[in-house]
């Protein structure tokens, strides 16, 4: 069966420090991968999605970037964190257009201080 | 532009009460999909249901039921005989056909008290 791993679960970082959140999917190949952010009191905002290795689409201009170095690995990064980057980050995947279900990881709570 | 509105920020009910979570969406596209997800305290979103824009049949799954009405652009979710385990944040979402973007509402926090 397919599983999605996301780590770390919680992270406290100072303003200006770098960020790297990792997400990996097991039990499937060539998934569509997504990074969402859930700010306090708000819905889920799509940040990036990827349909294949090295292919990244950005939904909103921001201080973050994403990379997909391997088929089942999706990384969210920042060179210098801002206070506004605080939030709950969720990685998700689905299989192309044939499967409508989006499966989410357990999330990372990021606090930038 | 597409948009999903969940006007109810928080709902509190007592166990065994029925509760309806509202969802109103906006889109000019004729082919789209609507979803409901549950986010328990653990944080992970759990898929509940998907409906496509051509299927307006209401659906029932155990204590859960969904009412899709294109005339009012609504996709409401009802929990019958609520239980404490139903306590969670529930998200409604919209995806336009042939796009990869899932547009979420702001969620409704449901608290079921014993």
Contact check, Cβ <8 Å, B43/A107: yes
- Is A46's CB within 8 Å of B102's CB? yes
Q: Quote the minimal CA–CA distance from B56 to chain A in Å.
A: 17
DSSP-derived secondary structure letter, B73: T
pLDDT in tens, A17-59: 999 999 999 988 888 999 999 877 667 888 998 989 999 998 8
Considering only the beta carbons, identify the residue of A32, A102, A106 that sits closest to B42. A106
What is the structure's pLDDT at A99?
54
Evaluate if residue B86 carries a pLDDT over 80.
yes
Mean local confidence (pLDDT), B89-101: 87
Q: Please check whether residue A96 touches B, CB under 8 A.
A: no
- Give me the mean pLDDT over the A99-107 stretch: 78
Q: Which class for B22: exposed (0-12), middle (13-18), buried (19 or more C-beta within 10 A)?
A: middle
Token pair, residue B37, equals: 């997800």
Q: Are B104 and A44 in contact (CB < 8 Å)? A: yes
- B72: three-class secondary structure by DSSP: helix
Interface list for A 58-87 with B (CB within 8 A): 59
User: Residue A50 and residue B93: Cα distance in Å, rounded?
Assistant: 19
Nearest CA in chain B to A38: B106
Interface touch B104/A88, C-beta < 8 Å: no
More confident residue, A82 or B56: A82
For residue B104, which of A54, A59, A79, A81 has the smallest C-alpha distance? A59
* pLDDT value for A97: 55
How many residue pairs from chains A and B have C-beta atoms closer than 8 A?
57
Confidence of residue B46 (pLDDT cuts 50, 70, 90): confident
Q: How far apart are the C-alpha atoms of A92 and A34, rounded to whole Å?
A: 5
Percent of chain A predicted with pLDDT > 70: 92
Asked if pLDDT for residue B32 goes beyond 70, the answer is yes
Look at residue B100 in the predicted model and tell me its pLDDT: 73
Rounded Cα gap, residues A37 and A15, in angstroms: 18
Over residues B89-106, the mean pLDDT reads 88
Per the prediction, chain B carries an average pLDDT of: 92
- 8 Å CB contact between B100 and A51: yes
Q: Residue B60 has what pLDDT?
A: 87
Q: By three-state DSSP, how is residue B1 classified?
A: coil
Report CB contact under 8 Å: B44, A41. Answer: no
Q: Is the pLDDT of residue B55 over 90?
A: no
pLDDT for position B28: 93
């Amino acid at each position: 069966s397919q599983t999605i791993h996301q780590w770390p679960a919680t992270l406290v970082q100072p303003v200006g420090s770098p960020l790297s959140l990792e997400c990996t999917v097991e039990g499937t190949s060539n998934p569509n991968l997504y990074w969402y952010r859930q700010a306090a009191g708000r819905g889920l905002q799509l940040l990036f999605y990827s349909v294949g290795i090295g292919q990244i689409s950005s939904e909103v201009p921001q201080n973050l970037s994403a990379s997909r170095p391997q088929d089942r690995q999706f990384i969210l990064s920042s060179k210098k964190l801002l206070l506004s980057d605080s939030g709950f980050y969720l990685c998700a995947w689905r299989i192309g257009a044939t499967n409508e279900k989006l499966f989410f990881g357990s999330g990372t709570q990021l606090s930038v201080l | 532009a597409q948009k999903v509105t969940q006007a109810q920020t928080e709902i509190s009910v007592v166990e065994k009460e029925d509760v309806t979570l509202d969802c109103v969406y906006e889109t000019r596209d004729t082919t789209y999909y609507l979803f409901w997800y549950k986010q328990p305290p653990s944080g992970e979103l759990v898929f509940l249901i998907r409906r496509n824009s051509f299927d307006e049949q209401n659906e029932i799954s155990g204590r859960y039921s969904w009412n899709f009405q294109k005339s009012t652009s609504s996709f409401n979710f009802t929990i019958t005989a609520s239980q404490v385990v139903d306590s969670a944040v529930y998200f409604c979402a919209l995806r336009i056909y042939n796009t990869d973007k899932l547009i979420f509402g702001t969620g409704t926090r449901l608290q079921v008290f014993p």
